[in-house]
Chain A
Amino acid sequence: DTEVTQTPKHLVMGMTNKKSLKCEQHMGHRAMYWYKQKAKKPPELMFVYSYEKLSINESVPSRFSPECPNSSLLNLHLHALQPEDSALYLCASSQGLGAKEKLFFGSGTQLSVL
């Protein structure tokens, strides 16, 4: 199994809603990532977890709250989002955390904030 699975594939939410994005991998990878990608733009790093601990937070607003319940799962909790947060949210994993680790990406969750 070399897949990173993300659910849901599409999500529409209002600015007062609370929702969660989920990511799962069964490759035994110990590093997991959240990226945000706006249309026709490159992915931008949001968070990195290594061995279930938050390793990097790229100054992401607190309305985005990551969680890593175990080594296979990564969640992104969303609360009080703004319309400009509409984007494709990508999860990725790698075997370890290092400059030359190969990242495996999921297909993303397309989020629309109304």
Chain B
Amino acid sequence: GESVGLHLPTLSVQEGDNSIINCAYSNSASDYFIWYKQESGKGPQFIIDIRSNMDKRQGQRVTVLLNKTVKHLSLQIAATQPGDSAVYFCAETYSRGGSNYKLTFGKGTLLTVNP
């Protein structure tokens, strides 16, 4: 079946470095992508989203890049801080007609920021 996955299950970076978290998706019909951050003991928190008619979107210290040709999504975090340590999930969705849709999460990447 269709799935959303991640290349790297864990990523360890030094404080102040830039982080890049990757995600591959297989459903060519996906038209909306979201990155979530989940800290220990908390629910997923929305970070940034991107629609399929875009290839780049920037937020505060975060940038999402979308390459539809190779079905690849990445999250870039600038000047990574200890508070960025968390599991990061990509998620994809597409309209299935009417209001019927399903948000599919990728496997997640654990980001550890070393001081």
Residues of A at the B interface (CB closer than 8 Å) are 4, 40-45, 50, 55-56, 90, 92, 96-100, 102-108
**Beta-carbon contacts under 8 Å, B53-102 to A:** 89, 93-96, 99-102
Minimum Cβ distance to chain B for residue A79 (Å): 24
Q: Known contacts A99-B31, A99-B94: does B43 contact A42 (CB below 8 Å)?
A: no
Smallest CB-CB A-B distances: 9 pairs: A105-B43, A42-B105, A99-B101, A99-B95, A97-B99, A99-B93, A105-B44, A100-B32, A107-B42
Residue of B nearest to A106 (CB): B43
Q: Across the interface, which residues of A come within 8 angstroms of B43, CB to CB? A: 4, 90, 92, 105-108
Task: Please tell me if the beta carbons of B103 and A55 are within 8 angstroms of each other in the complex.
Answer: no
* Cross-chain contact of A104 among B46, B49, B100, B107 (Cβ < 8 A): B46
What is the count of residue pairs linking A and B with beta-carbon distances less than 8 angstroms? Answer: 56
Interface size class of B (residues with CB under 8 A): 20 to 34
Question: What string of 1s and 0s marks CB contacts (under 8 Å) between B33-52 and chain A?
Answer: 01000000111111001010
CA distance A87 to B48 in the complex (A): 26
Q: Across the interface, which residues of B come within 8 angstroms of A98, CB to CB? A: 95, 99, 101
Residue of A nearest to B101 (CB): A99
Minimum Cβ distance to chain B for residue A9 (Å): 9
A–B Cβ pairs within 8 angstroms, 29 of them? A4-B43, A40-B108, A41-B107, A42-B89, A42-B105, A42-B108, A43-B44, A43-B89, A43-B105, A45-B102, A45-B103, A55-B99, A56-B102, A90-B44, A97-B99, A97-B101, A99-B32, A99-B93, A99-B94, A99-B95, A100-B32, A100-B93, A102-B34, A102-B46, A103-B44, A105-B43, A105-B45, A107-B42, A108-B43
